[in-house]
Structure 1
Amino acid sequence: MEIYTGPQQGAHRRKKGSSTGKTVATVIAGILVLVLLAFAGYFFYLLGALPKVDRLADYRPPIVSQVYGEDGSLVGEFYLERRTVVAVDKIPRRLIQAFVSAEDSNFYQHKGIDYLGIARAVVKNVISLRKKEGASTITQQVAKSMLLTPEKKFSRKLKEAILAKRMEERLSKDEILYIYLNQIYLGAGAYGVELAAETYFGKEVDKLNLAEMAMLAGLPKAPNTYSPIKHLDKAKERQAYVLERMVKEGYVTQAEADHAKATPIEIHSLKKVNPEQSAYFLEQVRQQLEEKYGEERLYKDGLKIYTTMNAEMQKGAYEAVVNGLKAVDKRQGFRGPAKFLAETEVDGFCKKIEDSIDTVSMKQGATYPGVVTAIAEGKRELTVRVGDRTGTLSKKNMDWAGQVKLVSAFGNPGEKRAIALGSVLDVQVKEPDTNKQGAVFALDQAPEAQAALIAIDPMTGGVRAMVGGYDFKKSQFNRAMQAKRNPGSAFKPIIYAAAIDKGMTPATIIDDSPVEYESGGDRAWKPKNYDNIYRGPVTMREALTNSINIVSVKILESIGVNSAIEYAKKLGITSPLAANLTLALGSSSLTPMELTSAYAVFASGGYRMTPYFITKVVDREGQVLEEVQTPKVPVFAPVSSAAANPDGSGDQPAPAVPAAPAAPGMVPANAVPVISSDTAYIMTNLMESVVTSGTGGRARALGRPVAGKTGTTNDMKDAWFVGYVPQLVAGVWVGYDQERSLGAGGSGGQAAAPIWTEFMQRAVAGMPVKRFTVPSNVTFAQINPRTGHLAKDGEEGAMTECFVNGTEPTTYDGEAPTEGETPPAEDKSATLQ
């Protein structure tokens, strides 16, 4: 039998191979179907999870909450994104065309996705082997910015594409552009074209020229790289690209583009506010608003906040504090460079400084950290580099530092006050740089001492200016509101006012002689006068004028410590007070706000008002959320003894304080009569003598009636001056946060009074000169200041003194009171010992 198997075996192999191929194809097809099903499922999942496009129709982006001063000027801003929304019809068409040309030339043709642009970008990126060009349309950019997160994932790009298509179906091209041009970040903290125009060119967006429009349109690609403030050369390169794109798209002619390229660019920020000079005031406002309305509403809802701040006064307060602290600090001498850099460290240090300078040329008067890069020893002139700018520091502009050794080598020379190459110095700009060269610097030094200044309208309680320290960026601790420090002699007017209400007068004689008190231990307390001089019998006026400690202690002993404490509380002092005789010397810590508010009672004629900062808050729809209506009280309005003395003494009804309308959201006037207008005036009159003849003499520079008092604590750890004119009261404190002596020139009259005077000279410059109004119940008489009795006509040394009617002396030296007459306080009591 013949058997043949060859062909059958080959056929079997072919059949087997064919079966395997079909199996593989089936598996692949199955996998593809699964992938497609998975993708479809994922796609439909994304569709369901995507945010709604409809909400873009009511575009309400986070916008700036703006803070206004009492005159309506913009003084501050609160924001997460610094943006002002501008209507699309206010945006110039050429600016729109510039953005479209640079960012999405097919914007008016595509339906959300530019497929041609994607293909072009892919080709360019493949050729260059890196991502050289993106393909996101303006619509996609809006989708990403408004509805998605910025994560770089395929899922986000897919969502972006889907949303872009939906947006094109629901919104017009102009509506998309409106969102885009208001939403986009354009560098320097500016969101949207309106704020960018103000930030870079000092103009509103509809005032831009073609050159400026093209420069703005070049920013989205890389706002920091093409910033005209920091890199004008790169910004102009990008501007030229945008203009050529506009020519290609037919929006401008070549001649118009060439003219725009040749147009000089002037960088001039329309900086509406200076947050540096108002930082402490604005922070106080921010805290109050955030507590009441929450972060979301404050930072995103575009509130209009009207405050009591006077912008010019606030600027003057800030500059007075800075100048005064520098003067105090320079009296202590030059402390030497902040640090020494190796030659290899200079570029890195300067790069950080360069990034922080946001102006084309450095600001005149501003202080920057600079590095010494060259020393001309013969001229004693230094070359100083500040970021990418250079300038000179000559010998005459560092004279205050005294003899300083100069070392022409890098590294620490080992001497505290020596300056070497690589030294980091604070330098103040005397003359700004031109093209980043040629600045003239003066040696500066950041003060270590701190200061606080607060100014209050005594007729309303509105805070006009407040500075809580030298530099808010370095320390947010508000010393005006939070620092409790010993007021020293600045507390004495409160003791004297209590004594006036107890029957003493400016003519009361007190013996200024040494005294000692048991202090409960082995050693007695022996108060001393600041100058260690004891004058014998003096009037209250002379004692306050010359800030005599012994007399203040004896007055407090006479009226009683508890009585003085209650009186201080009546004036608005809330801090705990020492229940002993050291209170007369200001041994209890108070905030500058407390003490200044207490003085405001004297300035207002006896009214206490709670200081306030905010007058009105309005939301973005114009609805008034809150409003304060505080009518002014009359200066030295007649306040009866019944009003001034809650214990019921006196028989005259209290005057009616005008009340605010009882409308919803309005706060009534907070003016409470707490002392008589007579006492308020007499204290004012006494403190005028402090200025005209005593420790507050620097305040005479105002050239108008001024009342005030200095304060200096032991070892000159705290320096104070609180004073006022009829329209404004201000208090200044100077000291170190970690208590130590201010050193030579650290008294209240030398450290605090100059700051107060510089501020007040600017603050009252536009105010009419006014005298303090004399209440009808105050009378004047000629007295002998050595005895406190009446003086005869022509008597040597006689002076005019003021009294509450009925307390003036009635007898001359050596005379007994008239029979049946009640002698005045100084006649019926023995001289205080």
Structure 2
Amino acid sequence: MSLARVLKYLSLFLLLVLLIASALMGGAYFYVARDLPRVDTLADYRPPVITRVYSDDGTVIAEYSRERRILVPVENLPQQLIDAFVAAEDSQFFRHQGIDFLSIVRAAIRNVQAGGIVQGGSTITQQVAKSLLLTPERKFSRKFKEAILAYRMEQRLSKEGILYLYLNQIYLGHAAYGVQAAAENYFNKDVQELTLAESAMLAGLPQAPSRFSPYRNFAGAKERQRYVLNRMADEGFITPEEARAAFAEELTIHPRVNRHIAGAAYFTEQVRRYLEQNYGEELLYMGGLEVHTSMNLAMQQAAQEAVRDNLREHDKRRGYRGPLRVLPPAEVDAFVQSQAETLGTTPPAVGSLHEAVVRGADERRLRVRLGAWNGTIERGETRWAGNIEVVAADGRPAGNAEGGRTRLPLGSVVEVRVLKINADGSLALALEQEPLAQGALVALDPGTGLVRAMVGGYDFASSQFNRAIQARRLPGSALKPLIYAAALDRGYTPATLILDNPVIYRQRSATGEETEWRPKNYDDKFLGQTSFREALALSRNVVTIKILEDIGLGYVLNYARKLGIESPQPRDLTLALGSGAVTPLELTSAYGVFASGGVRISPSYIVRIKDRDGRILESIDPADFPEGVGPGQRLLGQSPERVISPTTAYLLTNLLESAVQDGTGQRAKALNRPAAGKTGTTNELRDAWFTGYVPQLVAASWVGYDQERTLGRHETGARAALPAWLAFMQEAVKELPVEHFAVPDTIEFRPIDPRTGLLTTEDAEHLRFEAFAPGSAPTRYSMDEEHLRAQDFFRLDLEDLY
């Protein structure tokens, strides 16, 4: 056979092979392509994004997500960051049409040489196709699909559009999806603030985010950074000198960003529950809601600190319960070594709480070990725990609630607070113990109803129950101002005289048995003739019961509901003693009516909610809905409603100022500005309250045990709850101007003889300028009526006096 014929048959055979291969490839293409997702869907890229919660100044206080992602337009990304990813992942990105055959061949050779997969040949476009349109299965069919989709993407999307998808979708470790989330995670920066060195380190992560994590493997991350910088130099994006300078740059890897601000957990958890209830889990964790709240971050953190410090002080008054545990001698060194590894080499922060091991003592101090540091606790810092005696390791520990002797065996583990770091590196410490009682504090702006701070307990990590809004507890005398306000609207005045004397109430039970109720005052004393003002300031129980009986129980219950008390209340005279449970938020809201001049505004902790596209879903401001509330939108809260007159609100406020200046709330005078408030203490000292306000802010503080029991001897509202209110308010009002409570034009001031409640001359020995509603001041003078005395049952005959 001639050579020409051989070549002819060979050519025909090769043509046939080519036709068969083309047919097979075409068939495979059409078979695979028929089920491929549409590339057009990428034009509406809507990946899961973070829901963010903001305080009133725009600070992010919480984030909720399954994939921590913040979308950034490609035009807002620094060019050096784009260059770093392109150089590291796909240097031909701007030149190929979705598939880089040279990279595939090069990667195949490398993998054969390495005996395994060490390098991929996928372009950035292919990576986007795999991430957004395909499953992660490792099959040839998937690679074929990936190539087809990459080509289609290149026909329909711009290179910038593909980069937008890639740089926002890519996983970069530690729950960070996209470059913005990663910049915040590792460098605590906005992506636009990244340096060349930081950009290169991020660009080194896609290959193995966990293995090259800057947190876990900084040396490995630096090697990947070197690779990226060299690739950038090879591709002409930077000069070799710039690459060397960037590699030499010292980087600070910040601790992983915790987007739940310390001290704000009770507040943000309430927001999270609201969002989940109203929008569902999917929208909460994947929908990118933007939630603006009423929280003032400085106030919130001051409230948390005030509650915690107050509970610790209360607990110390109850005595020391002894060490957390006692380590056998053989376990002490292991405990100290483990603690040293956990704490590292940086001294613990001043004010932080830790466990320490008792190693010895002398007359002046206790010696302890805290990780790698020696520490001392001066005897003055242990005085609250009684006379501490350090005994042998086999001795029995004993805490003493009576302030007597306390035994601590060597090896005792105790809680301590760091006071300072001494010049020699040792630590000055104070003895502490975690409190058993709980507390709550809630504060709101009376003019707007916006909740500025909310603390629901000592520690959210150990108890998520929010006592500020979920716990209904007896308010005791803290409810009395509501009764006195109701009485003012029924003709009483601050100068009205009531007889504080023993009374007996008899009633029959359902079985017909007759019982007696003999109410008494906290001090077991009776003052006799007592003014309305003095009775509230000194929290006289019997007087309050008489007032309630006179004006009517039904009237007071309706009045309380009008002020915002929604919890069920008892329909008997024990209401005067605060026997009906309320939440701290309810009581704060009711006092807010007095502070606002008689206007009730429902408390709000959410100001505005937007969806990921910026559309307002909810708002407290009607101006956010200029065309009316549309589908899927909601106007939050209720319109302000006047529920009592400005005159009554001011008179009650004026009375509560007396409670601060001369009554049970005198500790609040330390605020050094006009303030009104009332203590509350329940039977057996189970609940302690102080609710008070300045013109711009009203707050309630509560202390009690979850499993109700006495707070301890003398633990009244003034002692157990007021200190937290005061500590909070001292911080909260620092930036607020000193204001006096506004006096309505209708208020009349008259000189009164407090002994009789009648007018007196301005040069009289006994004198008080008293405030009155229009026309309610007495018209007769005390000197003409000295024969009048408080008459039996409870008050003077008003018809005789006025």
| TM-score normalised by length of structure 1 | 0.79
Report the secondary structure of 1:276's partner residue.
Answer: coil
| Kept after mapping to 2: 8 A contact 1:630/1:668 | no
Displacement of 1:332 after TM fit? 3.1
| Kept after mapping to 1: 8 A contact 2:377/2:428 | no
Cα offsets for 1:681-709 (capped at 9, x unmatched)? 11101000011111111221221111110
**Which whole-Å CA distance do the structure 2 matches of 1:762 and 1:118 have between them?**
63
Displacement of 1:338 after TM fit? 4.5
* Structure 2 residue identity aligned to 1:742: L
The equivalent residue for 1:739 is 708
The equivalent residue for 2:683 is 714
The equivalent residue for 2:798 is 828
Cα offsets for 1:533-592 (capped at 9, x unmatched)? 222211111111111112212221222222211211121211111111111010110011
Cα offsets for 1:659-716 (capped at 9, x unmatched)? 9988335568611121222211111010000111111112212211111101111222
| Kept after mapping to 1: 8 A contact 2:415/2:431 | yes
Report the secondary structure of 2:506's partner residue.
Answer: coil
Asked if 1:462 corresponds to 2:432, the answer is: no
Change (3 A) 1:45 1:507: farther
Asked if 1:776 corresponds to 2:765, the answer is: no
Report the secondary structure of 1:573's partner residue.
Answer: coil
Report the secondary structure of 2:677's partner residue.
Answer: strand
Q: Structure 1 stretch 608-617 or stretch 730-739: which is displaced more?
A: 608-617
Asked if 1:202 corresponds to 2:188, the answer is: yes
* Structure 1 residue identity aligned to 2:192: D
The equivalent residue for 2:603 is 611
The equivalent residue for 2:69 is 83
| Kept after mapping to 1: 8 A contact 2:753/2:759 | yes
| Kept after mapping to 1: 8 A contact 2:54/2:62 | yes
Change (3 A) 1:693 1:101: same
* Structure 2 residue identity aligned to 1:266: T
Change (3 A) 1:537 1:157: farther
The equivalent residue for 1:527 is 519
Q: Structure 1 stretch 545-554 or stretch 184-193: which is displaced more?
A: 184-193
Question: Within 5 A, what are the aligned runs for 1:689-704?
Answer: 689-704=658-673
| Kept after mapping to 1: 8 A contact 2:68/2:175 | yes
| Kept after mapping to 2: 8 A contact 1:629/1:668 | no
Question: Within 5 A, what are the aligned runs for 1:127-276?
Answer: 138-150=124-136, 163-164=149-150, 166-168=152-154, 170-223=156-209, 226-229=212-215, 232=218, 235-247=221-233, 251-268=237-254, 274-276=260-262
Displacement of 1:293 after TM fit? 3.5
The equivalent residue for 1:447 is 435
Change (3 A) 1:320 1:268: same
Percentage of matched positions with identical amino acids: 49
Cα offsets for 1:200-255 (capped at 9, x unmatched)? 33332222222222332344455455544566555445544544554555544443
| Kept after mapping to 1: 8 A contact 2:104/2:122 | no
The equivalent residue for 1:300 is 286
Asked if 1:625 corresponds to 2:614, the answer is: no
* Structure 2 residue identity aligned to 1:394: T
**Which whole-Å CA distance do the structure 1 matches of 2:134 and 2:442 have between them?**
46
| Kept after mapping to 2: 8 A contact 1:391/1:433 | no
Change (3 A) 1:59 1:558: same
The equivalent residue for 1:119 is 108
The equivalent residue for 1:580 is 572
* Structure 2 residue identity aligned to 1:302: G
Asked if 1:543 corresponds to 2:535, the answer is: yes
Displacement of 1:412 after TM fit? 11
Change (3 A) 1:770 1:576: same
Displacement of 1:483 after TM fit? 0.8
Change (3 A) 1:677 1:234: same
Change (3 A) 1:44 1:415: farther
Cα offsets for 1:167-200 (capped at 9, x unmatched)? 4554454433322222233345433222322333
Change (3 A) 1:752 1:117: farther
Question: Within 5 A, what are the aligned runs for 1:274-285?
Answer: 274-285=260-271
* Structure 1 residue identity aligned to 2:674: P
The equivalent residue for 2:547 is 555
- Residue 813 (structure 1) aligned to one of 782, 788, 794: 782
| Kept after mapping to 2: 8 A contact 1:361/1:433 | no
Change (3 A) 1:154 1:753: farther
Q: Structure 1 stretch 181-190 or stretch 203-212: which is displaced more?
A: 181-190
Report the secondary structure of 1:765's partner residue.
Answer: coil
Asked if 1:764 corresponds to 2:733, the answer is: yes
The equivalent residue for 2:403 is none
* Structure 2 residue identity aligned to 1:828: L
**Which whole-Å CA distance do the structure 2 matches of 1:511 and 1:438 have between them?**
63
Asked if 1:481 corresponds to 2:469, the answer is: yes
Displacement of 1:156 after TM fit? 6.1
Question: Within 5 A, what are the aligned runs for 1:379-394?
Answer: 380-385=366-371, 390-394=372-376
**Which whole-Å CA distance do the structure 1 matches of 2:557 and 2:785 have between them?**
36
**Which whole-Å CA distance do the structure 2 matches of 1:427 and 1:700 have between them?**
32
Change (3 A) 1:746 1:441: same
The equivalent residue for 2:591 is 599
| TM-score normalised by length of structure 2 | 0.82
**Which whole-Å CA distance do the structure 2 matches of 1:327 and 1:189 have between them?**
40
**Which whole-Å CA distance do the structure 2 matches of 1:404 and 1:42 have between them?**
85
Change (3 A) 1:324 1:216: farther
Q: Give RMSD over aligned pairs.
A: 4.1
Change (3 A) 1:140 1:597: same
- Residue 628 (structure 2) aligned to one of 663, 672, 692: 663
* Structure 2 residue identity aligned to 1:728: L
- Residue 799 (structure 1) aligned to one of 765, 768, 786: 768
Report the secondary structure of 2:482's partner residue.
Answer: helix
| Kept after mapping to 2: 8 A contact 1:788/1:826 | no
**Which whole-Å CA distance do the structure 1 matches of 2:433 and 2:220 have between them?**
35
Displacement of 1:139 after TM fit? 4.2
**Which whole-Å CA distance do the structure 1 matches of 2:416 and 2:218 have between them?**
25
Asked if 1:494 corresponds to 2:482, the answer is: yes
Question: Within 5 A, what are the aligned runs for 1:349-360?
Answer: none
Change (3 A) 1:590 1:666: closer
Displacement of 1:784 after TM fit? 2.1
Displacement of 1:425 after TM fit? 5.5
| Kept after mapping to 2: 8 A contact 1:66/1:74 | yes
- Which structure 1 residue ranges, 5 or more long, are not aligned? 1-32, 632-658, 818-824
**Which whole-Å CA distance do the structure 2 matches of 1:151 and 1:365 have between them?**
52
Work out the number of aligned pairs and report it. 747
Cα offsets for 1:256-282 (capped at 9, x unmatched)? 333223322234579696533223323
**Which whole-Å CA distance do the structure 2 matches of 1:352 and 1:169 have between them?**
56
| Kept after mapping to 2: 8 A contact 1:375/1:408 | no
Displacement of 1:611 after TM fit? 1.5
**Which whole-Å CA distance do the structure 2 matches of 1:143 and 1:188 have between them?**
23
Cα offsets for 1:481-528 (capped at 9, x unmatched)? 111000011001011111111111111222222222225355422222
**Which whole-Å CA distance do the structure 2 matches of 1:412 and 1:363 have between them?**
30
| Kept after mapping to 1: 8 A contact 2:294/2:605 | yes
**Which whole-Å CA distance do the structure 2 matches of 1:704 and 1:58 have between them?**
57
